[in-house]
């Protein structure tokens, strides 16, 4: 196959998007998920201060998103620092989940 044929086949496969456009779409999605989850966490902190109650569910979501992103980086690049951050955020996600469940049990009683 010639270079032009390969490029055309690749564009058809990726719906005529070039690599730069696909990277921008990926980055936008990555940033959007982080910003959305961070806003949830800020609302949780605000409710904690104003209503004296902690909303843990947003923290579970936030830390699981971040842990997943670092895990994907580790799988692709095999850097130990990425693995350390994956474990850290995974542990924080579990702790937030435990807090969420314990809060649900307190409200139920």
**pLDDT higher for 53 or 44?**
44
- Decide if 100 contacts 60 (C-beta within 8 A): yes
The per-residue pLDDT for 38 is 77
The separation between CA 5 and the C-alpha centre of its own chain, rounded to angstroms, equals 37
What does pLDDT average to over the chain?
77
Question: How far apart are alpha carbons 65 and 93 in whole angstroms?
Answer: 9
The per-residue pLDDT for 109 is 57
Residue 16 has pLDDT above 60, yes or no: no
Q: What is the pLDDT of residues 21-51, one digit of tens each?
A: 667 667 777 777 777 777 777 877 777 777 7
Which of 107, 43, 36, 102 is CA-nearest to residue 66? Answer: 36
Which of 61, 54, 15, 70 is CA-nearest to residue 37? Answer: 61
The per-residue pLDDT for 87 is 92
């Amino acid at each position: 196959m010639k270079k032009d044929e390969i490029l055309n086949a690749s564009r058809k496969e990726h719906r005529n998007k070039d690599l730069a456009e696909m990277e921008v779409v990926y980055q936008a999605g990555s940033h959007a998920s982080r910003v959305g989850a961070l806003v949830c966490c800020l609302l949780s902190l605000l409710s904690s201060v104003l209503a004296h109650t902690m909303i843990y569910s947003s923290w579970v979501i936030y830390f699981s998103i971040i842990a997943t992103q670092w895990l994907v980086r580790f799988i692709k690049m095999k850097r130990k620092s990425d693995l350390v951050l994956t474990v850290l955020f995974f542990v924080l996600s579990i702790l937030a989940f435990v807090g969420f469940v314990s809060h649900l049990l307190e409200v139920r009683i």
